[in-house]
């Protein structure tokens, strides 16, 4: 994490909001009060943490399968000189949750998430059509609940 970009209030925000984000008409206001901040202060700090890369994401985790959707872990063998271009294309797709490069024969990994299994299949087909490369799919076989908390 980028400690220099975080003050004690930022750390408290991250630590507290990992445990529970309020479900209410004004959740940021409710969370801000719990933290001793104003709603606009909390929102501003979260935006700054996201903009500066201290946080890569702020939002809920869904069990998409319960809503009829699908997550799919995928990998590709991308020629080294094309990794940046293929990663940028993946970044532009709404179905791609994130992607990352690895030092492995499968060097570009990403997660697809969509409202239906058919939509995930269409995304895989589109990626293969645009890149001319094969997408290797690794569907979830078992789910583990870790309840991970990172104290900063």
pLDDT in tens, 93-109: 999 988 999 999 999 99
Q: Which residues of the chain have pLDDT under 50?
A: 1-3
Residue 96 near residue 126 (C-beta atoms within 8 A): no
Distances (CA, A) of 152 to 9, 21, 74: 11, 17, 30
Give backbone dihedrals phi and psi of 60, rounded to 5 degrees, phi first.
-75, 160
Predicted TM-score (pTM) of the model is 0.65
Give backbone dihedrals phi and psi of 146, rounded to 5 degrees, phi first.
-100, -25
Domains of the chain, with CATH numbers?
Answer: 7-51 (1.10.10), 64-138 (3.30.70.3460)
pLDDT at 4: 57
Distances (CA, A) of 102 to 75, 83, 110: 10, 11, 11
């Amino acid at each position: 994490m980028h400690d220099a970009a975080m003050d004690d209030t930022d750390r408290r925000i991250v630590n507290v909001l990992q445990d529970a984000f309020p479900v209410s008409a004004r959740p940021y206001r409710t969370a801000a009060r719990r933290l001793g901040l104003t709603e606009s202060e909390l929102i501003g700090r979260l935006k700054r943490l996201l903009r500066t890369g201290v946080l890569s994401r702020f939002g809920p985790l869904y069990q998409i399968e319960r809503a009829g959707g699908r997550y799919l872990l995928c990998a590709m063998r991308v020629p080294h000189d094309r990794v940046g271009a293929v990663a940028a294309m993946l970044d532009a797709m709404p179905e791609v949750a994130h992607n990352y490069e690895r030092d492995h024969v499968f060097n570009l990994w990403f997660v697809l998430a969509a409202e239906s299994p058919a939509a995930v299949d269409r995304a895989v087909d589109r990626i293969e059509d645009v890149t001319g490369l094969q997408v290797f799919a690794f569907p979830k076989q078992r789910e583990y609940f870790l309840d991970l908390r990172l104290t900063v």
